[in-house]
Amino acid sequence: MQPEMLVPPSRHEAPSSTLRPRILLVEDDTTVRRLFARILITAGFDVECASDGRAAAQQVIDNDYAAVVSDIGMPGMSGVELLRCMRAHGIATPVLLVTRSTDLSTAAEAVGHGAFQLLLKPVPPALLASEVRRATKVNAIAQTQRMAMRLFEADREEASRRAELDDTFTEMLGSLWMAYQPIVRSDGSVFGHEALMRSDSKALPHPGAMLDAAERLGRLRQLSRACREGAVKGFAGESSGKAALFVNLHASDLSDEVLLDPKGALASIAPRVVLEITERASLGPVKDVRQKIAELKALGFRIAIDDLGAGYAGLSTISVVEPEIVKLDMSLVRGVSENPVNKKLVRMIVAACKDLGIQTVAEGIETVDDQRALVALGCDYFQGFLIARPGRPFPVPSWPELRPMPDAAE
């Protein structure tokens, strides 16, 4: 049913309608309804009317009123029943009940159900207007309080979720370990091992989840340091004494003074370390990137760009970082043997890198066909599940014997 709308009598009698509190007036007697409506409109309210309790109940469910003024004695649903129905629906809007009866039991029932005010007919116009005004003010305060409460609850829930994640993260750090994945030359001999973070935590089961949690908690630096320390410790068992250690850096690690400290654990084996800087994340927010890279190189580290072709910054990272090595992104490598576009891209990148004296790693090799294609395309180093999955130090690489493949370089 459409609510019965009543317009203000004149512009001068009431404030702008957008600021007018909206009142629902429920009264079965047309004369009284019109009279009350006029009084309230003149007092500055927007008034919608209902002529019985049932229609009013639907209107309060569907709309947000600043107050409800309702007669008690109406056919169908009484004003007290309307009030009870509103509370049952969790609607806390103040209700002013109007009655002709001086019966105390009616008053007690109304108050018992949380009526804001009981007004006796005939209601003086000034009293009706002032009580409705008071009700709308109380409603506004209560609404603000409810909103503040909801925000407070949301804050508390967020804080408790954060505290829980913080505990999970601390527990995860306790079971952190580094896996290594071999990177081999085209003859299958080991060139190096990439260190990759792992934990036995079921709640943070893979590097993506670990890094996300660290970022949310502002504990990225702590995780990165633990990974670097773990990577160096595990690498102490490397028996050839020649293999390189590939270590992943987060862009924010470039600002970590511990990484740049010549006495740091990683710096002490710097000539054997290749620092991987991913092209997935922007280096934009890092202050003095070129300077930081220069310092790392001065310490003896080699720098690699990881995920080249996954493209945050396009190839511009190459000119900023001037890396010794680039690692082609898996999206270029996987299926390269049967994808002519990727084949062309890899060939172009490898040629450009050779020109610049940069070596290339193809990572994510899963099939012999891709392995053969990438060797034929001139990549220097190879990494992927086909050769070895990451594991406790140090997984032994397998390098399927290469049969000639005439079309691989086409």
* Contacts to ligand C2E by CB under 6 A: 181, 195-197, 206-207, 224, 227, 248-250, 278, 306-307, 363-366, 383-385, 390
Residue 279 binding Ca ion, by CB under 5 A: no
Q: CB of 307: closest distance to Ca ion in angstroms?
A: 4
Q: How many Cβ atoms from other residues are within 10 Å of residue 102's Cβ?
A: 8
Residue 366: contacted member of Ca ion, ligand C2E, none (CB under 5 to 8 Å, by partner type): ligand C2E
Q: Give, in degrees to the nearest 5, the angle at Cα 329 between 353 and 322.
A: 35
Whose Cβ is closer to ligand C2E: residue 201's or residue 278's?
278
Whose Cβ is closer to Ca ion: residue 131's or residue 253's?
253
Report which of 227, 253, 243, 231 is spatially closest to residue 180, judged by C-alpha positions: 231
**Which of 248, 337, 342, 383 lies at the binding interface for Ca ion (CB under 5 A)?**
248
- Indicate the burial class of 230 (C-beta count within 10 angstroms; 0-12, 13-18, 19 or more): middle
Show the binding pattern over residues 298-337: x = contacts Ca ion (CB under 5 A), - = does not: --------xx------------------------------
Residue 276 binding Ca ion, by CB under 5 A: yes
Q: CB of 347: closest distance to Ca ion in angstroms?
A: 20
Whose Cβ is closer to ligand C2E: residue 48's or residue 253's?
253
Residue 66: contacted member of Ca ion, ligand C2E, none (CB under 5 to 8 Å, by partner type): none
Measure CA of the first residue to CA of the last residue in the chain; give whole Å.
Answer: 75
Rounded to an integer, what distance in angstroms lies between the CA atom of residue 316 and that of residue 300? 23
Whose Cβ is closer to ligand C2E: residue 20's or residue 302's?
302
What the block records as the tokens of 68 is 């409800």
373 in Cβ contact with 405 (< 8 Å): yes
Whose Cβ is closer to ligand C2E: residue 46's or residue 370's?
370
3-class SS shares of the chain: helix, strand, coil, % to 5: 45, 20, 35
Residue 253 binding Ca ion, by CB under 5 A: no
Secondary structure (DSSP) of 335-365: TGGG-HHHHHHHHHHHHHHHHHT-EEEEE--
Whose Cβ is closer to Ca ion: residue 238's or residue 306's?
306
Amino acid of residue 44: G
Residue 234: contacted member of ligand C2E, Ca ion, none (CB under 5 to 8 Å, by partner type): none
180 in Cβ contact with 391 (< 8 Å): yes
Q: CB of 327: closest distance to Ca ion in angstroms?
A: 5
* Chain contacts with Ca ion (rule: CB under 5 A): 248, 276, 306-307
